[in-house]
Every structure is written in structure tokens, then in C-alpha cells.
Amino acid sequence: MRKMNLFSIGHSNHEIGQFIDLLKQADVTAIADVRTQPYSRHAADYNSDILKARLKSEDIAYVYLGKELGGRPERRLMCDGVADYEAMAREESFHSGMKRLIGGAQTYRVAMMCSEQHPLDCHRCLLVGRALLREAMDTRHILPDGAQITQTEIEAQLLLMANKTQDDLFADADTLLAHAYAQRARKVAFSEAA
């Protein structure tokens, strides 16, 4: 496993000061905004222009990667009206965003940011974190209380949630895990019906 400075965090309903405190506790020096739309109807402090200025005042860099790594795809990348993370991960733009994210982590302690509070409810974990782990980079997800959970630990939770911990005579571990990711993604991914 390569040691990289990659984290994730959801701004959720945190006051901006609390959010910055969480970043500082983890020594984060850069935010990669992976929201498809870099603004919030409910929390203006998280609109990209306001957030970027506030982060700059705290010596935290900001980059928008939502076009490449966002969770709301074009219709052609949806299956039955739900974002298809497997298809999204095959896109050239996704690979370009991954290169930028990994490159940034060579210099900064980068946290991917989206709006969902818990990583298991967000594409930053189920799409981007998974892709990073395939590249031997174990994302550390910052939880609302400041605790952290790794992508590897998330995968164990996914298997439990999908009831895939028992031995399956006909499926290998990778197949069981892929099924667990797909099952969770169908529940939480962007959908046209939402």
C-alpha cells in the first residue's frame, strides 16, 4: 500500500468553523471539491467562491474536480436512472481527475470534499475511494467527530452490510466485494428520481 496523504470529508451541516477545525485536526492542506455542482442551497459557506476564499485565509488550498470526479453523471452513464459508478470509473475524464488528485497528494495533504456526512453515503468513497484503493492508496475518511476510517475498513463494513461475510462457494472475494459496492451504490448514488 502506497503511503499517500489522501482523505475525504463531507461538509454536511457543519458550521464552517467546525469544518475547518476537522481539516486542521487531520493536517489537511488542500481540498479537492468533488461535488458535481460546487455550491450548497442550504449552506452558503460551502459555495465554491466563498469556500475557496475562507480556505485560503486558513492556508488551505482549493481545487474543483467535480467535472472529473463528481457523482452526478451524464444520462449515458446511468443505469435504470441511477449513476453507474463502474461506467463512470471507465471514463477518460475520471482518469484525468484521478491523476490530478494523486498528483496533488504528492505535495499536499488532500481531502476530497462532498456534501454527504458519512462516506458510505457518498461517491467520494464508493467511486473515488474505491478507485484509489485499486491503485494501492487507502483513503482516510474524516468522520463528523474527527475520527477517521480507512477505505479498507469501509470495505469490511460494506461486506457486512451486504451480508457477504459468509463463504460463497461460487464467488471469490473480489466478486463479493464488487457486489457489496454495487448494492450500496444502488441505494445511495444520484438518481433521476431523487
pLDDT recorded at residue 165:
53
Angstrom distance (rounded) from CA 34 to CA 148: 19
Contact 142, 114 (CB under 8 A): no
Consecutive 10-residue averages of pLDDT for the chain (194 residues): 81 96 98 95 93 98 98 93 95 98 96 96 97 94 97 94 65 86 93 74
Query: Does the domain formed by 6-188 have CATH 3.90.190?
Result: yes
Q: Where do the domains of the chain lie? A: 6-188
Angstrom distance (rounded) from CA 74 to CA 169: 38
pLDDT recorded at residue 14:
94
Q: C-alpha cell of 111?
A: 481531502
Total-model pTM: 0.92
Angstrom distance (rounded) from CA 147 to CA 36: 26
How far is Cα of residue 95 from the mean position of the Cα atoms in its chain? 15
